[in-house]
Amino acid sequence: MSATIDRHAHHQPTEVVTRFAPSPTGYLHLGGARTALFNWLYARHHGGRFLLRIEDTDRARSTQPAIDAILGGLRWLGIDWDGDAVFQFARADRHAEVAHQMVATGHAYRCYMTADEIAAQRAAAQAAKTPLRIRSPWRDADPATAPADAPFVVRLKAPRDGATTIEDRVQGSVTVQNAELDDLILLRSDGTPTYMLAVVVDDHDMGVTHVIRGDDHLNNAFRQLPIYRANGWPEPIYAHIPLIHGTDGAKLSKRHGAVGIEAYRDELGILPEAFDNYLLRLGWGHGDDEIISRDQATEWFDLGGVGKSPSRFDLKKLENLNGHYIRAADDARLAALIAPIGGYDDIDLLTRAMPVLKARAANLNELSEGARFLFAQRPLDLDQAASDLLAGDAPTLLAALHAALDAVQQWDQEATEAAVRQVAEARGVKLGQVAQPLRAALTGRKTSPGIFDVLALLGKEESLGRIADRMAV
Ligand code: GLU
């Protein structure tokens, strides 16, 4: 019997810890929101923890408004994190401490290469048309020969022989020859840690077991793994998810519409649950299921369901889902959401109207527009189609409708419908021919909820007033 020894440590599969690690240099964008959601779902599915780390080490480009937008965007999407957010810049001393330890254990070294020496290697690489891989003479030099007081960077003593293979949960097995990597810098000459070092130290200290992120970071994983190994730290499981493309197949950019998620909330009138469902389906699938609740997603989510090819962002699909979630949403909640959009003040009326209003809206702006007739002041502004419907003998018809509706005692759907039908029959026309001018008079539009719903919502007095404004006297 022979035992095989895995020379790399792995996390014991006891608790899953994932994280979202945005750089606060811009708003939370679609790709970031999806990465956060996948990490959240993976952790919740496994009963683990989901952590948030703000990677604010780029001091010039990291801003407080961007941090606020990211936190606000996550909260809007219902993505909560365990514990307090970790701020990377505040941990710079710890990162430096690890680098110094690595020097002490021989896994990193002080490199005193001058700018001229680096320029010479760059020129040689260019002449040979090979990628630049810094080969520092200090890697194997006796530290005693180091120049006193000269500036230095700390470089990782990366493995040069063999290959590194990552068993990525999405990309599969990916191998890079170690000779292709160079001794990356861990600490700059001013003593500040590099991004590559900070990410690894933070992920280790935070106990992250699964690194789920965009596949633009796959190359970084090959530079980060040696840092884990040098320190004898358990390695995370990697899952690099394909990026999001536009409908034309090109990488998603401003050209394809909004990339920041706040635009979907504030300008496009998307509900968070619709956005979540859409993000989930963007790159992850469970059979043919399209409408997937958060609970269902938590139960089903796994990395095996993440596709290997880039997914395409499709606003039409998002709006279809949004329409579904609007119809499923609570009426009082929808009323509160559209009141500020339309400048409406009667939440009760909006709530009462919501069952009929929400039947056709694809977003909150449409929903708000659909409610406008409820708050319109007499005499109503008419759009062109409504004006056309009110031409000809419509005023005479409206006078007949006014008389019939005025006689209605109990203002309910049954009674108003009977009155309107009676007018249509008396004139020998179909109900629709009566309903259209009536709709135009009541709403100022050609389309609206059902006409008897409109009469009920406006009430007898307001309905008769609007009809009187347009009828022949
Ligand atoms: N801060 C990086 C970014 O915003 C993510 C780093 C990581 O996930 O390892 O793209």
Give 222 Cα–ligand 1 centroid separation in angstroms.
15
Tell which atom from ligand 1 comes closest to the C-alpha of 203: 9
The residue whose CB lies within 8 Å of the most ligand 1 atoms, and thus the one to mutate among 55, 56, 197, 237, is 55
Ligand 1 pocket member 243 (CB < 6 A): no
Give 23 Cα–ligand 1 centroid separation in angstroms.
6
What integer is the mean pLDDT of 67-72? 96
Q: Whose CA is nearest to atom 7 of ligand 1?
A: 21
Residue 13 has a pLDDT of 60
| Gap between the Cα atoms of 402 and 400, Å rounded | 5
Q: What 3-state DSSP class applies to 108?
A: strand
Residue 12 has a pLDDT of 63
pLDDT surpasses 90 at 259: no
pLDDT band at 7 (very low <50, low <70, confident <90, very high): low
Angle, CA 241 vertex, CA 237 and CA 245 arms, to 5°: 170
Tell which atom from ligand 1 comes closest to the C-alpha of 32: 4
Give 94 Cα–ligand 1 centroid separation in angstroms.
19
Looking up tokens 């579904």 gives: 324
Q: Is the dihedral of CA 193, 199, 200, 201 positive or negative?
A: positive
Ligand 1 pocket member 306 (CB < 6 A): no
Ligand 1 pocket member 312 (CB < 6 A): no
Ligand 1 pocket member 231 (CB < 6 A): no
Ligand 1 pocket member 21 (CB < 6 A): yes
Where is the binding site for ATP, in residues? 254
Ligand 1 pocket member 22 (CB < 6 A): yes
Ligand 1 pocket member 206 (CB < 6 A): no
pLDDT surpasses 70 at 335: yes
Give 213 Cα–ligand 1 centroid separation in angstroms.
7
Tell which atom from ligand 1 comes closest to the C-alpha of 220: 9
Q: What is the tens place of the pLDDT at every residue in 356-377?
A: 999 989 999 999 999 999 999 9
pLDDT surpasses 50 at 3: no
Give 108 Cα–ligand 1 centroid separation in angstroms.
24
Residue 1 has a pLDDT of 37
Residue 4 has a pLDDT of 44
Nearest to 284 by CA among 27, 24, 40, 25: 40
Give 235 Cα–ligand 1 centroid separation in angstroms.
17
pLDDT band at 339 (very low <50, low <70, confident <90, very high): very high
What integer is the mean pLDDT of 59-77? 96
Three-state SS across 412-471?
CHHHHHHHHHHHHHHHCCCHHHHHHHHHHHHHCCCCCCCHHHHHHHHHHHHHHHHHHHHC
Looking up tokens 């039947």 gives: 359
Q: What is the tens place of the pLDDT at every residue in 305-323?
A: 999 999 999 999 999 999 9
pLDDT band at 5 (very low <50, low <70, confident <90, very high): very low
Tell which atom from ligand 1 comes closest to the C-alpha of 22: 4
Give 104 Cα–ligand 1 centroid separation in angstroms.
29
Domain regions of the chain by residue span:
3-244, 330-373, 384-470
Q: What is the tens place of the pLDDT at every residue in 119-167?
A: 999 999 999 999 999 999 999 999 899 999 999 999 999 999 999 999 9
Q: What 3-state DSSP class applies to 287?
A: coil
Tell which atom from ligand 1 comes closest to the C-alpha of 216: 10
Of 4-13, 35-44, 120-129, 282-291, minimum mean pLDDT range: 4-13
Where is the binding site, in residues? 254
Crossing angle of the two packed helices 30-45 and 272-281, in degrees rounded to 10: 80
Distances (CA, A) of 5 to 8, 9, 159, 193: 9, 10, 19, 33
User: Quick one: DSSP state of residue 29?
Assistant: B
Residue 405 has a pLDDT of 98
Residue of 129, 251, 254, 316 marked catalytic: 254
CATH of 3-244, one of 3.40.50.300, 3.90.550.50, 3.40.50.620, 3.40.80.10: 3.40.50.620
- Half-sphere exposure (Cβ direction) of 288: Cα atoms closer than 13 Å: 0
**What is the average pLDDT value for the chain, to the nearest integer?**
95
Ligand 1 pocket member 217 (CB < 6 A): yes
Torsion of CA 453, 457, 462, 468, to 10 degrees: -10
What integer is the mean pLDDT of 434-455? 97
Ligand 1 pocket member 199 (CB < 6 A): yes
CATH of 384-470, one of 1.20.1250.20, 1.10.10.350, 3.40.228.10, 3.90.180.10: 1.10.10.350
pLDDT surpasses 80 at 203: yes
Q: Are strands 185-187 and 153-156 parallel, antiparallel or unpaired?
A: antiparallel
Q: What is the tens place of the pLDDT at every residue in 410-443?
A: 999 999 999 999 999 999 999 999 999 999 999 9
254 catalytic per annotation: yes
What integer is the mean pLDDT of 47-66? 96
pLDDT band at 273 (very low <50, low <70, confident <90, very high): very high
Nearest to 200 by CA among 88, 59, 336: 88
Residue 171 has a pLDDT of 97
pLDDT surpasses 70 at 6: no
- E strand map for 157-226: 163-168, 172-177, 185-187, 210-214
